[in-house]
Amino acid sequence: MMKHSKKSIIKLVPDFLDYLEIEKGLSNKTQENYSRYLKRFSDWLFEIEKHTLLPHQLTPEIIWKYRVFLSRKTESQKTGEALQKNTQNYYLIAIRALLNFFTERDITSLPAEKIKLAKQPKNRKIHFLQLEQIKNLVEAPIVEDEAGLRDRAILEGLFSTGMRVSELVQLNVEQMKTTKDFLELGVKGKGSKVRTVYFSNRALSWVKKYLSKRSDTDPALFINYRPGAERAETRRLSVRSVENIVKKYSKQAGLPVMTTPHTLRHSYATDLLNNGVDLRSVQEFLGHSDISTTQIYTHVTNKKLKDIYLKHHGGKDI
């Protein structure tokens, strides 16, 4: 039987986050994301003097005002750019999840399906690098010290495996101990989904060169070499640190400014498709739960189909 809650929506958010951890068993990263998205909603409710809003008082009109707020919110104060549609949807999806939690707890509120997501362009443009650009990027680090060898190993590893940067920074030295020249490795991705990634002979050789120079006992594979880092409990590199490393060498290699670790993931997928790997296999390599996510690479599959058509059919005389 549904009931009205005496606690406001804002005060129920911590209960929801506990629910994600204990009952849903979601990863810390996912919990952090939900917490961040719902904090913006809570702050907005507080600003419009609805901080005491109860779940059953939430209306489609209030949600609409919040959507207007998100659409006019800037992603960065420096650029003044508005939040992208997919980013806006993350905030709305978090509210949907909160409303589903209310339903599961028999708390009267707005049905989650009443919150519609923003429509996104069908063909989302992605950025990827050509093989010559990849070569210039991975060869940019000066490999005369540990930091340079680390950076080369990071760049080679990202392109070889197609890992997300969040997966890469969680790797440990112990996982890389092998006498082989090729490594299959299980990594835990989004939604705690485990998949196999593959380090090529070349990528693994750079990891081994880097490890051969290490004399510390930190379990993390990629560690920080900044002054004072050795005093920390662990010197494991953060996601932001790896992003800065890629950005640094992208500039040195003269690559587009939008080059990020995810650009290397896109480049990895594009290279697989260019070499005849089917879309379903690429889905498995990337760890996508839904094939529709992998279909952003239609820029490759569409061109391949066109080339096949012109070669085998389109140019024939009747």
Q: Which entry of 96, 152, 236, 288 is annotated as an active-site residue?
A: 288
The yes-or-no answer on residue 262 being catalytic is yes
Do residues 155 and 138 make contact, with C-beta atoms less than 8 angstroms apart? yes
Q: Quote helix, strand, coil % in the chain, to nearest 5.
A: 60, 5, 35
User: Is 164 noted as a catalytic residue in this protein?
Assistant: yes
Catalytic one of 105, 190, 208, 235 = 190
The catalytically annotated residue of 164, 236, 249, 268 is 164
15 C-beta neighbours (distance < 10 Å), count: 15
Active site residue 40: no
Angstrom distance (rounded) from CA 184 to CA 198: 5
190 part of the active site: yes
In the set 66, 265, 266, 268, the catalytic residue is 265
> Which residue of the set 85, 208, 209, 262 is catalytic?
262
The 8-class DSSP code of residue 81 comes to P
Torsion of the alpha carbons at 100, 101, 103 and 105, rounded to the nearest 10: 170
DSSP 313: I
Residues 108 and 243: beta-carbon distance below 8 Å: no
Q: Are 57 and 110 in contact (CB under 8 A)?
A: no
Distances from the Cα of 153 to the Cαs of 100, 137, 157, 257, in angstroms?
43, 12, 6, 21
Q: Is 152 a catalytic residue?
A: no
* Catalytic sites, residue numbers: 164, 190, 262, 265, 288, 297
